[in-house]
Structure 1
Amino acid sequence: MADEDLQARRVDVMCAWTTFIEHGDVAAAVRPEILLSWGRARKARVSTEVEAAPMADESETDAVWRGSPLQAAVEAVGSELRRTAEDGDLVVAVTDPNSRILWTYGGRVMRNKAESVAFLPGGRWDDESVGTNALDLANRLDAPSMVFSAEHYARGLGNWVCWAAPVHDPVSGRRLGVLDLSTTWDRTHPIGLATARVMARLIETAIPYSHEHPSVRAEGTGEPGLVMTLLGTAETWLDGARLLLNRRQTEILALLALHPEGLSLEQLHAMVYGDQAVTFSTLKAEVSHLRRALGGQLASRPYRLLMPTATDVQQVLALIRGGHVVAAVEAYGGDLLPGTNSPALSELADYVAVALREALLADPQPDAVLRYSQELAPYDREVVESCLSRLDGAPHPTIPLLKGRLAVADR
């Protein structure tokens, strides 16, 4: 975003904030979730001059962290989280479901800024304690949230921009907390929210074995193994380190991750190439490259991965099976490997997209439908109409936005 556009945006938000604080209304367009949060903060009599978040009991916070599945997951992928913070000079935070911070790591500049406002383990960042912020919104809405500059209720946070995304147990769908990325407002970047979503998903795939989460990591395994994001954006991590693979290698690895029982050379060839005139030797060469990249953890006869694996495809399907529609929409980052010419992956892409749509038609949760219509399927009238019909005139903050999506679809 150009500097002048960013500055103009900040001025507009500051004007809206000032009008609300002085008169209780707004003179400019403010996102509904921000306005509702401002209202909650005012009702709770939060001071706009609050300088730092109140702190929860230290020993209690430590106990919650030690008893949370988030601790093991964050430790498993900590190198990736710290690298993100250092490369972008961000502060990264993980909270519990009540927006109490359990863990943080900051880049050189942001670390000091974070300490000055109690953006630390134990800091209570619900909006009734410190006013509007992205951690609270992501927890409250169970959806990725951004708060920019003076959208923060507290005046002292007007120099911040924060992006947060909820973290769920991938099988039960239970919300465990949020992952937040924060920096100064002038460093706002369009991919900030997407980065928070990817980091939250990375934590989800590293959550240790439990009765709720048996599919992501084998019992007793100390490493997160292979983690693949295939929906919308293709990314692959091995033990917390990102792998750089070409498109065909990603397709082959995805098929192996989705078939843990293993595939013969003939099966894998058919799934990758279909009826294309590609030799078995070409496939073997690609597999050999993958075996080197995986440190030898790829067996032959049949081809089979020798480490725990997790993909966002499996996560979304598990959430749909469990009836967790909101979490499924959040985890669905987009079409599976758009443009793939693998017949097996093309078929799976259609299956996942249709399953998600049918889940929304069966249970049209307003927040999930809004995100689906805004980011995934802007011209799908039927899903939006089913949601509005289910609401049947009952008041809900998403209604104006859903009707706006219908107007866009009509065009």
Structure 2
Amino acid sequence: MALSPMDVTQLAAVDTARAARVLNDVRNATLSGQRAPVAPRPVIEQSWGRMLRSGVDPDHDFRSGLLSREEVQRRRESSTLRHVLPVLREGLLSVADVAHHIMVVADEDGRVLWREGSSPVLRKADGLGFELGADWREDVVGTNGVGTPAVVRRPVQVFAAEHFVRTHATWTCAGAPITDPRDGRLIGVVDVSGPLETMHPATLAWVDTVAKLAEARLRELHLTSLEQLRAVAAPVLARLAGRALVVDRDGWCAAVTGMPYVSRIALPKSLTGGRRWLPPLGLCAVEPLAGGWLLRPADEPVPSGGTRIVLDLSQPRRWSMTVTGTAGTWSHELSPRHAELLYLLALHRGGRSAAELAEDMFGDAGRTVTVRAEMSRVRRYLGGLLEHRPYRFCEEADVEVLLPENPHDLLPHSTAPGVAQGRTA
């Protein structure tokens, strides 16, 4: 009787060796184009497809150059991950050491920056090239618990022969992405790994929970920094007449006077002082403050004219939108969810209702509350360029979408039915 992928996962909890043999047969059959005895789990099957398209050799263990100790230290000191290391260590290390696992923390580029846990397992990891400074991106070393969660933007457990590269089939790992709550940007992946026999079905949920605790810690730190900026802003705003607001370097609002409160303003990456056009405020006088910016909207209207919007989805993990109009050019880095929504709206220039977008995103037309909440966030930086009832780009905007060279690489994290259709178009 054939086993479903879920049965294989359950089998591994009681008979690791048999589960490994089943998965090895599945892998060999799938990669040779034959009918597999069991269908691979979708997240693994999709990853294998990316590996075959990108040319990763499943029979050779390719290792790129390690970063120097100096470069590892430089990345540690500049990474936001350093703020959550105590949370990760407290939540993972004590159990990992007893269970013969190691904890690995990699940055957004897939480079291993921290590695701690069981000493014997650390030595075994060395034999796999799982070392400090190593590059564990999926398109370098194949399907794995660091690179694959970074691509799909959700927790993934990779067991035995689910690893694309054959030499990794004696290993098991469970990784979860860590994102910056300020902008949704991927900042790294935390992974718990060990030899095949250490696999446990609850490991993935455990790692994901600790990753979410790390993100909660980052939110606490951000709120603290906004409070500090608010204290700096109070005397400045008290002396001003008219409209003004103070935002941090990421555009989150700390204080406002003379105008309705907005939670966040989209700022260009290289903002400087002077007169700048900022959506949705228009022309503003921009002045630096300690830890942020003072923004004073101008009274004169923004000149009207044509607008060009370029939605760049060509890169596997970085998506952005660039707007060019008569008032200048600005760019905004997109979260995975907003990249999906804007792609769907670019695909349907006539517009989509909340129910239609819910169907496109989740396959469930009833999830309109989630769609409306996300579209409200999108409108905070797109302003009048995005209309609603139905949701659509404004008619005056010329919208261009830059897609990956291979359609299968379109938003690889996405499980949205509307995006999946785009991959096969």
TM-score (norm 1): 0.52
Match of 1:383 among 361, 367, 375: 367
Are positions 1:180 and 2:164 aligned together?
A: no
1:235-262 CA distance string (max 9 Å, x none): xxxxxxxxxxxxxxxxxxxxxxxxxxxx
Supply the AA of the counterpart residue of 2:147: D
Q: Specify the alignment match of 2:32 in structure 1.
A: 22
Q: Specify the alignment match of 1:97 in structure 2.
A: 108
Are positions 1:61 and 2:45 aligned together?
A: no
Q: Specify the alignment match of 1:409 in structure 2.
A: none
Higher strand share: 2
How many residues of Structure 1 are paired with residues of Structure 2 in the alignment? 252
CA-CA distance at 1:401 after TM superposition:
13
Supply the AA of the counterpart residue of 1:190: P
Q: Specify the alignment match of 2:211 in structure 1.
A: 200
Supply the AA of the counterpart residue of 1:383: R
Match of 2:143 among 108, 132, 135: 132
Computing the radius of gyration from Cα coordinates, the structure with the larger value is 2
Note closer, same or farther for the CA distance 1:325–1:118 as it changes in structure 2 (3 Å cut): closer
Contact 1:90/1:107 (8 A) holds in 2: yes
- State the SS of the aligned residue for 1:134: coil
Return the alpha-carbon distance in structure 2 between the equivalents of residues 88 and 113 of structure 1: 15
- State the SS of the aligned residue for 1:48: coil
Supply the AA of the counterpart residue of 1:147: V
Contact 1:72/1:208 (8 A) holds in 2: no
Supply the AA of the counterpart residue of 2:179: H
Return the alpha-carbon distance in structure 1 between the equivalents of residues 188 and 180 of structure 2: 10
Return the alpha-carbon distance in structure 2 between the equivalents of residues 80 and 18 of structure 1: 37
Supply the AA of the counterpart residue of 1:382: G
Match of 2:85 among 65, 74, 87: 74
Q: Specify the alignment match of 1:35 in structure 2.
A: 45
Q: For residues 3-402 of structure 1, what are the structure 2 equivalents within 5 Å?
A: 5-23=15-33, 26=36, 28-51=38-61, 53-58=63-68, 59-75=70-86, 77-207=88-218, 213-215=222-224, 326=337, 364=358, 369=362, 382-383=366-367, 398=415
Contact 2:64/2:135 (8 A) holds in 1: yes
- State the SS of the aligned residue for 1:207: helix
- State the SS of the aligned residue for 1:46: coil
1:346-383 CA distance string (max 9 Å, x none): xxxxxxxxxxxxxx96964978x48xxxxxxxxx7733
Higher helix share: 1
Contact 1:164/1:196 (8 A) holds in 2: yes
RMSD over aligned Cα atoms: 4.0
Contact 2:358/2:365 (8 A) holds in 1: no
Supply the AA of the counterpart residue of 2:176: A
Return the alpha-carbon distance in structure 1 between the equivalents of residues 90 and 71 of structure 2: 26
CA-CA distance at 1:96 after TM superposition:
1.4
- Over the matched positions of the two proteins, sequence identity in percent amounts to 24
Q: Which runs of 5+ in 2 are unaligned?
A: 1-9, 230-333, 339-353, 372-390, 392-406, 421-425
Note closer, same or farther for the CA distance 1:25–1:123 as it changes in structure 2 (3 Å cut): farther
Note closer, same or farther for the CA distance 1:53–1:361 as it changes in structure 2 (3 Å cut): farther
Note closer, same or farther for the CA distance 1:147–1:361 as it changes in structure 2 (3 Å cut): farther
CA-CA distance at 1:201 after TM superposition:
1.8
Return the alpha-carbon distance in structure 2 between the equivalents of residues 77 and 218 of structure 1: 25
Q: Specify the alignment match of 2:396 in structure 1.
A: none
Note closer, same or farther for the CA distance 1:39–1:77 as it changes in structure 2 (3 Å cut): closer
Asked which structure has the greater RCO (Cα within 8 Å, sep 6+), the reply is: 1
